[in-house]
Amino acid sequence: MTPAWLRPLVRAAREGRVSTPGRAVRNGGGQAAVLMALSGDARALTRPGDASVLLTHRAPTMRSHAGQVAFPGGRIDPGDADPVAAALREAWEETGLRSAEVTSLVTLPPTSVRASGSAVYPVLAYRHDPGRTYPASPEETDDVFEASLAELIDPAHRLTVGWRGWRGPAFRSNGYVVWGFTAALLSGLIDAAGWAVPWERDRVVELGEALASSRNNEM
C-alpha cells in the first residue's frame, strides 16, 4: 500500500506531471533504469520528518560519471523482465538493497542522460521495510547513504550550477554536490509532490567551484 504522504507524488507521476531532464532518447541506444527509493513513516499523512531517498556515490575511478552522486541503477540486461526488475537488480548489486524491502509505485517515461543518450527509466519506489545498505560493489559505488528529504528541500541546501552554458538544479547532501541527471529528477519529484519551498533559483554557482568544496572528487 502506498503511504498517504506519497500518494500526491504517485498521482502526479501517473498523470505525467513530474518534470524530468526531457532530453531526446537516441534510436538504437542502450536502455537503463534507476531506482528512486523513498522511505519514511508509512503512517504519516504528510511528509514525515524521517523521509529520505537512497543515493550512491560513484567511485572516482569509474570510466563514466566518476565521482557523481546517483540513484542506484544501470543498464537493463536481457534477463531483466522490465525496467523495475533491472532497477531492483542494480540496487541489490550496488547497495545490498533487497527487493523484498521495496514496493514499486510507478515507472516514469524514459528520458536521456546527456553523456550517453541512453533511454533511462526512472522507477519510483517505497522502502516499506528498510534494511542495511552499504557499498556492495565498492569498485563501482564507494558510498551509499540516505539523503534526508527535509535537508534536500531546505533552501540552504539548494543551488543552481552552471558549466559551459549549461545550468541546472543541484543539492548539497552529506558533503556531496548532487547535480546533473540525478538532481534534475530529484527537483522534479520535489516540485510534483508539492514539497518545494522558495529558493534562489537564479543565483548560479560555477560547477567547478561547487565541486571543489565537496566530497565528490570529480573534475
Number of domains within the chain: 1
Q: Which CATH number is 182's domain given?
A: 3.90.79.10
pTM: 0.94
**Cell numbers representing residue 95 in the block:** 547497495
Q: How many whole angstroms from its chain centre is CA 140? A: 16
Distances (CA, A) of 30 to 26, 80, 110, 140, 183: 9, 14, 11, 19, 22
- Please tell me what DSSP assigns to residue 100: G
C-alpha cell of residue 112 = 536521456
Residue 178 β-bridge partners: 171
Residue 219 lies in a domain: no
Q: What's the length of the chain?
A: 219
Question: Which amino acid is present at 143?
Answer: D
Q: Is 94 a domain residue?
A: yes
pLDDT value at position 17?
Answer: 96
pLDDT per residue rounded down to tens, the chain (219 residues): 899 999 999 999 999 999 988 665 666 668 999 999 999 999 999 999 999 999 999 998 887 778 999 999 999 999 999 999 999 999 999 999 999 999 999 999 999 876 666 899 999 999 998 889 999 999 999 999 999 999 999 999 999 999 999 999 999 999 999 999 999 999 999 999 999 999 999 999 999 999 999 999 986
Residue 98: give the domain boundaries.
4-212
Q: Which residue do the cell numbers 572528487 mark?
A: 217
Q: Does residue 218 fall inside a structural domain?
A: no
Task: Give domain status of residue 69, yes or no.
Answer: yes
